Amino acid sequence: MPSRPSPSDDSILRLTSVSLGYGDAVILRDISLDVRRGQVIALMGGSGSGKTTLLRAATGQIKARTGEVLLFGQSLAKVSPTDLQNLRQRMGVLFQQGALFTDLNVFENVAFPLREHAKLSPTDLLARVLDKLEAVGLRTAAHLRVSEISGGMARRVALARAIVLEPELILYDEPFAGLDPISLGITARLIRSLSDRLGCASVVITHDIAESFAIADHVYLVGQGLIKAHGTPDTLGQSTDPYVQQFLNGAPDGPVPFDYPSSPRFDAWLKQQQAVR
């Protein structure tokens, strides 16, 4: 296992001037952010702004084109595959769609990381998994198959699976999507309490302004391929920046266009359609 950072170095995830993309397309550029132990960071932005891409860079699924991604003090560009595996054991990820294993039941889904990485006795494993399921209110759903639970429940099971190894960094991709108001409030408080109780760092990708502002220590606003603004929820709430104001108030008019921009490909397609008719 790679050495854990010293107590004075409490930076868990640090991105410095990072640009990311797929193929020829650059999705994000000049991204810098720092996530420290015990912090809850909210990453907000419109759909397709590249928030999930940022998360994939943090997990080492995609490489930064420029800049540096430091995870637990190690550069992901230089880390060996074995060390990357070791670093990943110290993080938990909640996927946008939950990504539960459909051939396993609820209990086995949550137990999966423990069976793979922790050498626990069957009694300890049962206790640990039921404890995490209880935290998300699904202790008595442990026996159910994934096909028998609702979408909201599936996300809560995925949350239990993400935290079962009690990681030092938890990345949440849209943790509040599809949850009813009660589950949403409990999930938000759970994310905050995990950071407070275990001292883990949390990165929450979300559109939910009220809940994320209530639990986050620092908020980054992503848009147009850049970090447009960042700060504490209070400072962002008081910001006069038109981009921040439009996003927080959900205004149709402002620097962020609602309409998808036109392109030469669309013009060519439209011309072809009109010619056919």
Partner 1 sequence: MSLNLRIASLGHLVRTKVTGLGTFTRFFWMLLQRSSIIFSRPRLVSQQIHFIGNYSLLIIAVSGLFVGFVLGLQGYYTLNRYGSEEALGLLVALSLTRELGPVVTALLFAGRAGTSLTAEIGLMKAGEQLAAMEVMAVDPVRRVLAPRFWGGVIAMPILAAVFSMVGILGGWVVGVLMIGIDTGAFWSQMQSGVDVWKDILNGVIKSIVFGVAVTLIALYEGWQSRPTPEGVARATTRTVVAGSLAVLGLDFLLTALMFSN
Q: Which stretch binds partner 1 (CB under 8 A): 14-22, 37-45, 98-106, 216-224?
A: 98-106
- To the nearest 10 degrees (0 to 180), the angle between helices 181-198 and 151-163 is 0
Distances (CA, A) of 110 to 14, 19, 89, 134: 28, 34, 15, 12
Nearest to partner 1 of 93, 190 (CB atom) = 93
Rounded to a whole number of angstroms, the minimum distance from the CB of residue 113 to partner 1 is 5
Q: Is 64 in the site for partner 1 (CB under 8 A)?
A: no
CA torsion through residues 68, 59, 231, 244, sign? positive
CA–CA separation, 31 vs 51, rounded Å?
Answer: 11
Distance CA 94, CA 206 (A): 12
Separation between Cα atoms, residue 116 and residue 114, nearest integer Å: 5
CB of 117 to partner 1, least distance (A): 7
- Closest distance between partner 1 and the C-beta of residue 89, in Å? 5
- Residue with smaller CB distance to partner 1, 102 or 235: 102
| H helix or E strand, kind and range, residue 41 | strand 40-45
Asked if 88 is part of the footprint of partner 1 (rule: CB under 8 A), the reply reads yes
Residue 100 contacts partner 1 per CB under 8 A: yes
**Residue 116 touches partner 1, criterion: CB under 8 A:** yes
Task: Give residues in contact with partner 1 (CB under 8 A).
Answer: 59, 61, 85-86, 88-89, 91, 93, 95-97, 99-103, 112-113, 116-117
